[in-house]
């Protein structure tokens, strides 16, 4: 009976919006105005998940009060709150209970005013201007604002043209009067028309792809094939991003060598160099090798780039650097997923049901993770529980998608009521089960938002708008998502209210309206479209769902040359899958070499003390051997002096022997044991060369 539940829900939605913005964007590095505008747009687009169920329960409560109204003079009744004045309205108090989350009467209309008009103001005026502002490569704030105004002139001009056509249509219609109130209705109707068609396109894809993606995620073989396919495509995209960046850097290097330190545009070149990768900035010329004035130099003025060309180069560099970083991060994340899926495939055939990591992780683990994430627990989770849970959830979402499609096709039918959600809500309304009403409404609108917003976050418009997680979405794409979500807010609310038959313009009911329809209007479209809207709207939803189920759009893109994963049956898809598998195998070989190197370094650190002791002992033995060898040489020299005559005779005898034969050396070589190598690469036997007689001059021939 207080505003506590509403405040709690608003805080939860705000935390979810901040988390998503942090996941996709870089809050600490992007412009603060972009962060605030995007956060407000996303927050107001998600807040309808909790505000709309409160509006529904409050509407049913007001409807109960209206149906319990008694206009008669009642004097004796214990079930009625009486009044001395017989003309006043009195209510049956025992039958109408307030919802548990009931708020004051003026709270919800005020919130809808803020949410609706803020969303419209952002999506049609603020966000497009900011999108052009952050895309501009100008070097000053005034220059960026000027360029944003010029680029949005065409954008706003097209809408002014459409608005002018609508004004002419209204002025020419004899049954319509053009005043301020009617103009407001025309604007809301035009916005609803565009939003409803956009919602149909997004729901037609999301209602099929969300449960199917979850079902495929439970099949490890399909997940591996999709990951291999994405890796192959991303490898090409990564290489193209690197080549584009190299081309832009080469152009920057050329411009930096042309523009000297005393040229007026040198400050712009220096700012461009600051946007280059840090390891390449030192290679750029600073323009300090020529100290002559540029007016007196022989260089032609045509070679020096203009400010407009530097603006274009600045814009190209910013996009190239971001694309290079994004593809590198996506490559790392996708490669980790591929390695993890292959690890799951190997552990699935494990007989002992014991999880084994192919590459041990180096991340520190706390006591809780060590206790919970045991090898047995991990095997059961990844190989049994997680796939089963995904399949169960996928089946539930499939049933929910079927219910949504059926309700979308039948909510225009009043008698009998065929919309499943309208039937369920009406059953709960009879028992005044407000908790169930809010829960069912919250789950339904949440699923509609998930399906519609899922498609928005999957959009890739020629890689200019690219939504990627792990902080890899640029400011332009974040603003694009904000524009799309704001345009979907009002159509989602109206579509849900129509599905549960709370839009009086659909059911032709004169009962109590919701606070949203009182303020923002109904599910109305432009009159020349509304004539057959209840016919082609359900048909369009069904056609899009069927086309998405059979991957008609993906197959058409594949025929046009855009590579898409359509099941792996065609040759091109099979080749890309095989290429992705080879990329994963190559990465595994690199990781194996890396881990072997780490093991060797850890082993050397672990046995470093023993190694030092062995080295010192070896040096001591070598020193002792050298001393013994010197003593042996001294004794040998003394004996040699005493037997000088004998040695002379031996030399005379050696002179008559063949050149390639020496009896002394040959006998000594035969007598010596085989040489063995130590772990340091030197011989472990004593050196006998000093004791041998000198070789003849031609022994080496």
Contacts of 475 (CB under 8 A, 6+ apart): 25, 30, 31, 34, 134
**Radius of gyration of the chain measured on its C-alpha atoms:** 40
**pLDDT at residue 85 is higher than 50:** no
Count CB atoms within 10 A of the CB of residue 257. 15
Q: Give dist(CA 182, CA 630) in Å, integer.
A: 116
Average pLDDT over residues 50-61: 89
Q: What is the pLDDT of residue 524?
A: 56
Q: Give dist(CA 490, CA 503) in Å, integer.
A: 13
Between 670 and 409, the higher pLDDT residue: 409
**What does each C-alpha distance from 504 to 328, 414, 650 come to in angstroms?**
53, 11, 129
Confidence of residue 562 (pLDDT cuts 50, 70, 90): low
Q: Give dist(CA 313, CA 315) in Å, integer.
A: 5
Q: What is the pLDDT of residue 198?
A: 86
Q: Give dist(CA 536, CA 404) in Å, integer.
A: 17
- Burial readout 229-251 (b: 16 or more C-beta within 10 A, e: otherwise): bbbbbbbebbeebeebbeebbeb
Q: What is the pLDDT of residue 513?
A: 81
Q: What is the pLDDT of residue 152?
A: 82
Q: What is the pTM of this model?
A: 0.76
For the CA atoms of 537, 541, 544, 545, what is the dihedral angle to 10 degrees?
-170
Average pLDDT over residues 385-411: 93
Q: What is the pLDDT of residues 504-538, one digit of tens each?
A: 666 656 567 888 888 776 655 555 555 556 566 77
Whether residue 699 contacts residue 672, with contact meaning beta carbons closer than 8 Å, is answered with no
- Which stretch of 33-37, 71-75, 320-324, 385-389 has the lowest confidence by average pLDDT? 71-75
Average pLDDT over residues 24-38: 89
3-state secondary structure of 468: coil
Q: What is the pLDDT of residues 565-599, one digit of tens each?
A: 666 566 778 888 999 999 999 998 988 888 888 88
Contacts of 131 (CB under 8 A, 6+ apart): 476, 479, 480, 483
Whether residue 580 contacts residue 227, with contact meaning beta carbons closer than 8 Å, is answered with yes
**pLDDT at residue 690 is higher than 60:** no
Q: What is the pLDDT of residue 93?
A: 46
Between 585 and 673, the higher pLDDT residue: 585
Contacts of 677 (CB under 8 A, 6+ apart): 683, 684
Q: Give dist(CA 372, CA 638) in Å, integer.
A: 80
Average pLDDT over residues 195-200: 85
For residue 95, the Cα-to-chain-centroid distance in whole angstroms is 51
Average pLDDT over residues 656-680: 41
Q: What is the pLDDT of residues 472-498, one digit of tens each?
A: 888 888 998 999 898 888 888 888 988
Confidence of residue 107 (pLDDT cuts 50, 70, 90): confident
Q: Give dist(CA 612, CA 41) in Å, integer.
A: 66
Q: Which helix (H) or strand (E) holds 505?
A: helix 504-507
Q: What is the pLDDT of residue 296?
A: 46
Nearest to 59 by CA among 425, 508, 447: 425
Q: Give dist(CA 294, CA 100) in Å, integer.
A: 78
% of the chain exceeding 90 in pLDDT: 22
Q: What is the pLDDT of residues 251-286, one digit of tens each?
A: 988 888 888 777 888 888 888 888 888 877 776 655
**pLDDT at residue 624 is higher than 60:** no
Q: What is the pLDDT of residue 570?
A: 67
Give the DSSP letter string of 43-56: HHHHTHHHHHHHHH
């Amino acid at each position: 009976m207080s505003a506590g539940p509403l405040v709690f829900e608003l805080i939860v939605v705000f935390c979810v919006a901040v988390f998503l913005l942090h996941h996709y964007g870089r809050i600490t590095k992007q412009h603060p105005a972009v962060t605030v505008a995007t956060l407000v747009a996303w927050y107001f687009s998600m807040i309808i998940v909790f505000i709309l169920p409160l509006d529904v329960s409050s509407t049913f409560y007001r409807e109960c009060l209206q149906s319990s109204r008694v206009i008669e003079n009642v004097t004796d009744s214990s079930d009625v709150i009486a009044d001395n004045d017989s003309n006043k309205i009195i209510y049956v108090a025992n039958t109408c209970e307030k919802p548990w989350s009931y708020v004051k009467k003026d709270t919800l209309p005020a919130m809808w005013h803020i949410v609706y008009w803020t969303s419209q103001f952002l999506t049609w005026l603020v966000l497009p201007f900011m999108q052009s502002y952050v895309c501009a490569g100008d070097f000053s704030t005034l220059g960026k604002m000027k360029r944003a105004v010029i680029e949005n002139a065409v954008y706003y001009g097209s809408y002014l043209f459409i608005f002018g056509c609508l004004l002419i249509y209204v002025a020419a219609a004899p049954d319509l009067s053009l005043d301020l109130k009617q103009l407001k209705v025309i604007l809301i109707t035009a916005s609803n028309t565009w939003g409803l068609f956009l919602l149909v396109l997004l729901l037609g894809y999301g209602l099929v792809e969300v449960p199917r993606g979850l079902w495929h995620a439970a099949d490890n073989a399909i997940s591996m094939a999709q990951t291999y396919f994405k890796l192959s495509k991303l490898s090409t995209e990564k290489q193209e991003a690197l080549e584009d960046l190299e081309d832009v850097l080469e152009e920057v290097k050329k411009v930096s060598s042309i523009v000297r330190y005393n040229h007026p545009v040198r400050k712009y070149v220096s700012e461009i160099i600051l946007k280059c990768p840090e390891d390449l900035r030192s290679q750029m010329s600073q323009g300090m090798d020529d100290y002559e004035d540029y007016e007196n130099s022989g260089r032609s003025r045509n070679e020096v780039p203009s400010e407009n060309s530097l603006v274009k180069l600045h814009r190209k560099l910013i996009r190239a650097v971001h694309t290079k970083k994004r593809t590198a991060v996506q490559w790392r994340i996708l490669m980790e997923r591929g390695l993890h899926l292959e690890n799951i495939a190997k552990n699935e055939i494990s007989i002992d049901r014991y999880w084994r990591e192919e590459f041990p992780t180096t991340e520190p683990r706390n006591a809780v993770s060590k206790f919970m994430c045991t090898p047995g627990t991990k095997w059961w989770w990844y190989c049994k529980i997680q796939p089963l849970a995904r399949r169960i959830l996928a089946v539930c979402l499939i049933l929910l998608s079927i219910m949504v499609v059926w309700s979308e096709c039948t909510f225009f039918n009043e008698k009998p009521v065929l919309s499943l959600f309208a039937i369920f809500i009406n059953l709960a309304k009879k028992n005044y089960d407000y908790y169930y009403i809010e829960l069912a409404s919250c789950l339904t609108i949440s699923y509609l938002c998930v399906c519609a917003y899922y498609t928005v976050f999957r959009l890739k418009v020629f890689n200019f708008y690219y939504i990627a997680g792990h902080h890899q979405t640029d400011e332009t794409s974040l603003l694009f998502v904000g524009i799309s979500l704001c345009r979907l807010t009002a159509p989602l609310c109206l579509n849900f209210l129509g599905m549960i038959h709370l839009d009086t313009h659909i059911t032709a009911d004169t009962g109590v309206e919701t606070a949203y329809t009182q303020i923002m209007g109904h599910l109305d479209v432009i009159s020349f479209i509304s004539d057959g809207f209840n016919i082609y709207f359900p048909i369009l939803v069904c056609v899009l769902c069927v086309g998405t189920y059979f991957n008609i759009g993906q197959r058409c893109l594949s025929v046009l040359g855009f590579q898409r994963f359509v099941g792996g049956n065609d040759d091109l898809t099979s080749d890309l899958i095989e290429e992705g598998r080879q990329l994963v195998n190559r990465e595994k070989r690199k990781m194996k070499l890396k881990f072997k190197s780490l093991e060797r370094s850890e082993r050397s650190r672990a046995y470093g003390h023993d190694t030092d002791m062995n080295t010192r002992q070896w040096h001591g033995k070598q020193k002792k051997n050298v001393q013994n060898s010197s003593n042996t040489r001294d004794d040998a020299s003394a004996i040699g002096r005493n037997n000088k005559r004998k040695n002379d005779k031996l030399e005379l005898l050696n002179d008559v022997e063949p050149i390639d034969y020496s009896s002394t050396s040959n006998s000594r070589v035969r007598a010596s044991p085989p040489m063995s190598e130590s772990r340091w690469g030197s011989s472990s036997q004593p050196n006998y060369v000093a004791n041998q007689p000198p070789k003849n001059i031609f022994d080496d021939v």
